[in-house]
Amino acid sequence: MANWYLQNGKDSDVVVSSRVRLNRNLNVFKFLSKCSVEEQNNILTKIKEVMPSLGYGLKYIDLKDLDDVTKLSLIEKHLISPDFAVNKEHKKAVIVNDDENICIMINEEDHIKLQVFSSGQELENLMNLIIEIDEKLGDLVDYSFSEKFGYLTASPINVGTGMKASVIVHLPALTMTGNLSKVLRIVNNLGMNIKGVYGEGTQNDGDLYQISNTQTIGLTEKEIATNVKNITEKIIEQERTARNYLGKNQTEIEDRVYRAFGVLAYASKLSSEECKKLLSDVKLGTDLGIIKELDDSKVKELELYTKAGNLQKYFGKTMEGYEREIKRAEAVKQIIKGLNK
């Protein structure tokens, strides 16, 4: 079976993926910013010792043993954060299973960041899974915990449950109809955080946005997951309404998505930014049933393997910018024709 990021899940026409994470610290160590190099290594040693007892097919990898392209590919899959990959002040490790739906960063902002992932809208199932993993790990190590405040974290905004639930949503129709800013404003006013996946939330983000909770204290894990799910369902409804509205002018929307498909399929070179924009329109066209040449699985492959790190993984070679543009176009043609490796 394909990894989660190449699968389609519930409401995948709008919800690209879901993630739930928990921040934890070990009671016997200082917060990471105060730890010596020796203490950081001791944290790694402790976690490495207990990992086999945790199960789930998890594998321990020292971050220093990963090359830059592999780190970039993990960032693009949202498995690790950019700061985690590039910050060399701390001794770090990543723990991941073969399906890559469970990934644990050791010595990022806190000693432990547990993460679970799924395609589509699966926050409740992910919450149950991560609580199960957290309880098993909590039996193997001693967490920093306060009866008054809950789990203690380096950043005050994570104190309490230490849980963040998030979804990545694709909102091209709200953008096209000019209703996106109103929806974003409403989400922020409801105590949620919404931002562009790649930057400031513009068309160059491929119309992708991440929605997540801002409050971790004073709420249970179930309440956090439910709140994010409820907001997400409202956004799904708004995006689908906007798509129905666009569909009233079938010629215009068909022209737009097939123009994007034509450039994507026949270009001799593609920049990363151009590719994001084209893929946004192509995904919309596929989800609306206009583009028959693609299915959901191929769109997922195109979205993954046109990103710089995974593009280099796809061809098994390191490439500079201009060569990547040429190879990106080549990868697109191979995936569309079903010739991908």
Q: What is the DSSP string of 122-143?
A: -HHHHHHHHHHHHHHHHHHS-B
| pLDDT averages per 10-residue partition of the chain, 341 residues | 89 96 94 92 95 94 94 96 84 96 96 97 96 96 92 91 95 94 85 75 72 89 94 95 94 96 97 96 96 92 97 96 96 87 53
Same structural domain, 92 and 156 = yes
The amino acid sitting at 107 is: N
Same structural domain, 170 and 279 = no
Domain enclosing residue 22, as ranges: 4-243
Same structural domain, 227 and 260 = no
Same structural domain, 225 and 257 = no
Same structural domain, 271 and 324 = yes
Which token pair is 337?
A: 């024709």
269: Cβ–Cβ under 8 A, 6 or more apart, which residues?
322, 325, 326, 328, 329
State which of 243, 277, 294 marks the end of a domain.
243
Q: Are strands 192-196 and 93-96 parallel, antiparallel or unpaired?
A: unpaired
Same structural domain, 113 and 79 = yes
State which of 185, 220, 243 marks the end of a domain.
243
Q: What is the DSSP string of 41-105?
A: HHHHHHHHHHHHHH-TT-EEEEGGGS-HHHHHHHHHTTSS-HHHHH--SS--EEEE-TTSSEEEE
Choose among 159, 163, 220, 224: nearest CA to 192: 224
Q: Are strands 93-96 and 102-106 parallel, antiparallel or unpaired?
A: antiparallel
Same structural domain, 152 and 260 = no
Q: Are strands 15-24 and 93-96 parallel, antiparallel or unpaired?
A: unpaired
Q: What is the pTM of this model?
A: 0.93
Residue 187, pLDDT score: 85
| Cβ atoms of residues 119 and 16 within 8 Å | yes
CA 130, CA 117: separation in Å to the nearest integer? 10
State which of 209, 243, 277 marks the end of a domain.
243
Same structural domain, 186 and 329 = no
DSSP run (H or E) holding 22: strand 15-24
3-state secondary structure 197-214: CCCCCCHHHCCEEEEEEC
Same structural domain, 186 and 264 = no
Same structural domain, 256 and 231 = no
Same structural domain, 126 and 209 = yes
Q: Are strands 145-146 and 150-151 parallel, antiparallel or unpaired?
A: antiparallel
CA 330, CA 59: separation in Å to the nearest integer? 33
Choose among 1, 17, 11: nearest CA to 300: 17
Q: Domain count for the chain, please give it.
A: 2
Same structural domain, 149 and 282 = no
Residue 341, pLDDT score: 53
Q: What is the DSSP letter of 144?
A: -
CA 86, CA 211: separation in Å to the nearest integer? 25
CA 221, CA 209: separation in Å to the nearest integer? 22
Which token pair is 307?
A: 């990103």
Which token pair is 314?
A: 């796809």
